[in-house]
Amino acid sequence: IAGLDGRYSCGVCGWVNHHSEGHRPLPRAEDDPDAANPLD
């Protein structure tokens, strides 16, 4: 089992906990500085 910010998953069986169980809100796509800008 591996996790980040209270969101966990198992690579063997595919189990994941619900995204709402994390420690803070998930970032929005617009907040990703590495995302490609589709308008470029």
pLDDT attached to residue 8: 92
pTM: 0.51
pLDDT by residue (tens digit) across 3-37? 888 889 999 999 999 888 888 888 888 888 887 77
Distance CA 9, CA 29 (A): 21
pLDDT attached to residue 36: 74
pLDDT attached to residue 9: 92
User: Nearest CA to 19 among 31, 3, 35?
Assistant: 3
pLDDT attached to residue 12: 93
pLDDT attached to residue 40: 61
pLDDT attached to residue 38: 63
